[in-house]
Amino acid sequence: MGLSDRQALAASAGRVRELIGPAALAACAADIVSGTEPAIIAARIGRPEAAQAIAKLATAANTWGPGRAEAYLYGLCDAAQERNQAAEIVLTGPTERNVPFRTTLSALVHVIDTSRQELWLSTYSARPHRPLLEALTRALDRNVAVSIAVETLAGAGSAIAGSEPAHAFAELDGARLYSWPARTRPEDAKLHAKLALADGDILLVTSANFTASGLTNNLEAGVLLTGGPGPTRAAAYLRSLVRHGTLERI
């Protein structure tokens, strides 16, 4: 595994990055090096014409070493995306006329409405909230793959009362609901992440639960990232949690 193998990987990776962009390449890097059929990978990212280039990259990655190749692909994509990353503070709370800010609900709806292929939501607590459900319905109508990770009453212990948080999304036909089974997690661990992620490119991380109080009334803070390595890494992490069975379908 000499320099020529690395050069072959670099050439193939550069070609795929040109075809599909750094965000999509980072999102499918793990699949490329793990042996997933190139045509399947290309179809998942909506670029079937890239299947042949992805196949060449997969061969080069296997020759150089899958572990090293995956790290190389992430580094290649990070370098390209860091030049174009934007960050914005997102808040819920009392309005201050001299300090304008983007609200949590508007940022969340923006992420959902931006999605075209893949959308991830994660929340600890949830209650039906019409603006959120309407945005998610629009995404499903666009044939976006919508996945929602949510805590359970068993996982939360006595911290959440009432109906299961997943019931907040019961009317969404086609959304995939996931949770982290209490039986498989460390003692006292919670599914506490609150985020929304569109196409591995736009990521909202927030302290707000997806309830009317969290999205409109509480004092909450978060950040909205557009571009850069953060959203693509988060997407890869969430897919990995599903692929390895950490998150299970409800």
**Residues 57, 101: one domain?**
no
For residue 204, the cross-strand partners are 196, 224
Model pTM greater than 0.75? no
Give me the CATH number covering residue 108. 3.30.870.10
Question: Domain check: are 167 and 223 in the same one?
Answer: yes
The amino acid sitting at 174 is G
- 236/250 Cα distance (integer angstroms): 21
Q: Let me know whether 163 and 219 are in one domain.
A: yes
Residue at a domain's end among 82, 105, 127 = 82
Do 48 and 20 share a structural domain?
yes
Query: pLDDT tens digits, residue range 106-165?
Result: 999 999 999 998 999 999 999 999 999 999 999 999 999 999 999 999 999 888 888 999
Three-class HEC string of the chain: CCHHHHHHHHHHHHHHHHHHCHHHHHHHHHHHHHCCCHHHHHHHCCCHHHHHHHHHHHHHHHHHCHHHHHHHHHHHHHHHHHHHCEEEEEEECCCCCCCCCEEHHHHHHHHHHHCCCEEEEEECCECCCHHHHHHHHHHHHCCCEEEEEECCHHHHCCCCCCCCHHHHHCCCCCCEEEECCHHHCCCCCCCCCCEEEECCCEEEEECCCECHHHHHHCCEEEEEEECCHHHHHHHHHHHHHHHCCCCEEC
Banded model confidence at residue 1, pLDDT cuts 50, 70, 90: very low
- pLDDT value at residue 32: 94
Which candidate, 180, 113, 183, 124, places its Cα nearest to that of 146?
Answer: 113
Sort 187 into a burial class: Cβ within 10 Å, 0-12 / 13-18 / 19+.
Answer: exposed
- In this structure, the answer to whether residues 45 and 152 fall within a common structural domain is no
In this structure, are 40 and 55 located in the same domain? yes
Residue 61, pLDDT score: 93
- DSSP-derived pairing of the beta strands 118-123 and 145-150: parallel
Read off the pLDDT of residues 133-149 as tens digits, 9 standing for 90 and up: 999 999 999 999 999 99
For the stretch 80-100, pLDDT in tens is 666 667 889 999 988 766 777
pLDDT of residue 76: 86
Tens of pLDDT, residues 180-196: 999 999 988 999 999 99
Quickly state the pLDDT bin for 43 (edges 50, 70, 90): confident
Range of the domain at 17: 3-82
User: Do 122 and 54 reside in the same domain of the chain?
Assistant: no
- Does residue 120 share a domain with residue 231? yes
Same domain (yes/no): 73, 156: no
Total number of domains in the chain: 2
Residues 32 and 91 in one domain: no
What is the average pLDDT across 210-234?
Answer: 91
Distance CA 147, CA 239 (A): 10
Among the candidates 82, 109, 141, a domain finishes at: 82
Side chain identity, residue 14? G
Domain boundary among 82, 104, 134: 82
> CA-CA distance, 218 to 238, in Å (whole number)?
27
Instruction: Calculate the average pLDDT of the chain.
Output: 90
Are 71 and 134 found together in one domain? no
Shared domain for 22 and 124, answered yes or no, is no
CB 77 within 8 A of CB 191: no
